Structure formats: C-alpha cells, structure tokens
Amino acid sequence: MAAMAGVSCSSSSTLSTLKKSFTSNSPIFPSFRSLLPQIPKPLSLKTVNPNFKPFLPRRFSSAVSATVDSAEVRQSLKTRLKNGETLYGIFLLGFSPTFAEIAGLAGYDFAVVDMEHGHGGISDALPCLHALAATQTPAILRIPESSATWAKKALDLGPQGIMFPMIDGPKSARKAVSYCRFPPNGVRGSAHTVVRASSYGIDEGYLSNYEDDLLIMCQVECVDGVKKIDEIAAVEGVDCIQMGPLDLSASLGYLWDPGNKKVKEMMNTAEKGALKKKPHDGGAYLSGFAMPHDSPENLKSRGYHMVSGAVDIGLFRNAAVEDVKKFKMSLAKGFEDDDDQKDHKDGEEKYWIADN
C-alpha cells in the first residue's frame, strides 16, 4: 500500500510539474500560451463610431443591468424625442444589408427601410433589420399602404417605428393606430409567442411594453391631409407626423417643381398645423425629408424633430456618377495634352523643314 501511495504521490507530483510547465514563463518550460498565435484585439464599435451606445428596450433593462453600464445604453427613439433631441436619419431603398450596416456604423440616429418606394418586401427588409440591429441602430419600416395586413407583417419583424403613407385625415390616422395594437385596443393579429418582435417569445415583457416602445408615424402628403393635419397630430397614439414634400407638390400640380412658392406656402401651413400642440400636450413630433432647396438645417430651424437627409441609392448614384465623370474628364484632359504635344512636335518639324 505504501508503494502504491508512493506511486500515487509521484504521479500527482508529475502532473503538478507538467501543469506548472504549461503556465510558467521560464526559458526551459515556456508558457503554453506563448505558443499560440497572437490574435489582435478586434476593433470595437466605439472605435469605429465613438458615439455608439447599444439600445436595449426597457423590458430588458433589468435583466442586463448587472452587466451593462446604464450610461452606455442607447435610449429609444421615443425617449430621445421626449428629451428634446433632433434626430438625423437615412432612407434605405436598395435593401442591401451591407449598406444598412454601413449606415448604422456611420452614426445615423435611425434608418427607414422603405417598402413603399423600394423594390423589396418583408423578406427583403428582414436582413436589413438584422444589419441595423448589429450596429444597434433603430429601424423604422415604411409600409407600401396603410392596411392591417402590411402593418401586422411589418410589426412582427420588431422595428422600433412604423410609417404609414397617405394619411389624409383623423379617421385614417385612427385606423393606422388600430393596426398597431392588439385587441381590444386595436385589430392587430397576434402571433407574439413566435415572432421576432418578441424575440421569438423569449421576451416575456413584450405585451406589457410594446405600445410604449413603438413609434407610430403618419405621413401627410396631400392637400386634404394638410387641411386636417392638426386633427391627425391630435389622434391618440400618433407619435409623429412625417411630411411628404414630393407627393404634396404633385397634388398641387407642381410635380416637377417641389420648390415652387405655392408648395412652400402649403408646407409652411402644414408645419404650423402639426406643431400647433406640443407632444406632451396631445400633439405630435414633426419629421421631414431634406430637399435640394430645403436643407436639414432649415428643417431643424423650423421645428422638425426628425430629419432625413439622404437615400442610400442617391448616395451611391451621386458617388458613381462623380467617379465616372472624374475619370472621363481626366481622359479628355489627357487627349488635350497629347494634342498639345503633337502640335508642338509638328511645329518643330515644320520649322526644321523650312529652315533647310
């Protein structure tokens, strides 16, 4: 038994020695970690975008409070609007997850995935929402039409906001709000136990907080809507009025001239009506899209709370056109230089011929 004990003790000592050899830094027994390839520390989102702060819905805040610094948690769009911030966003019509991710990393406060004028639908929007979520950038879905079916499918994806087009009065605004709420407060169909909006049923607090977290936006873009815009803004549940300058100019007969004086006057009337009541007094926030004749700074100065200043396709188009133009101009300049050199050479030849 003593011999066995000695063997056991010896084995234990050997194992202990081996263990120390793997963790020591001695020249005889180098650390095992030193044999592993040194992987550089990846860049964090804060390195790429110093203003980055993750967004966590309030229903998750208690669960992560022990591991996430509350000061580093990005607030929801509704909370930031209530705090008086002016938010700057982008419209995404190309349905490219890569462009969506770049938009988020660039620092936009929100991104509108546009299913009204973009080519894509629900299945195309989902990868963009995944990309935006990776950068913790709030997504707003603009649906093709104000209907219960489109609203249901859009909301099940879990965007932070939804935008209803062509709202022309308080009646259509109330319908839009009803599409966003479950019975008995609305007509939204329920599959909350399995959809992305509730983290596929993992988020047990979804039903208690979804109304508070969702930003409902009604788009006013026709003369009839402008006439009743103060009534639309006063509808319970409408959080934000989105102005549609292009459709409004078309309804006035100035499709090709959105900067026309009459269009500007109508926009001014709409803005005053939308801002008639403060949001905390039963009114709504005002959102708009910058135009060549109406900069983001101008919108902000007139009381807009949310401003969109770019479209992904427009940014890429401008960059592509400018890139090609720059190259073509360089070619033309090169030809001119060649012609100048040729003329100079021909002149020299003629000179020598005449001289001889």
Q: Which residues are catalytic?
A: 117
Q: Are 190 and 155 in contact (CB under 8 A)?
A: no
Question: Shortest CA distance to 224 belongs to which of 162, 290, 170?
Answer: 170
Q: Are 93 and 117 in contact (CB under 8 A)?
A: yes
Instruction: At 218, give phi and psi (nearest 5°).
Output: -110, 125
Coil, helix or strand at residue 119: coil
Burial group, residue 128, by CB count within 10 angstroms (0-12, 13-18, 19+): buried
Cα–Cα distance between 183 and 207 in angstroms, integer?
12
Which residue blocks in 77-179 are alpha helix, DSSP H? Answer: 77-82, 97-106, 122-134, 148-156, 170-179
**The one-letter amino acid at 325:** K
Cβ atoms < 10 Å from Cβ of 277: 14
Cα distances (angstroms) measured from residue 209 to each of 24, 60, 197:
53, 10, 11
C-alpha gyration radius of the chain: 31
Cα–Cα distance between 105 and 67 in angstroms, integer?
23
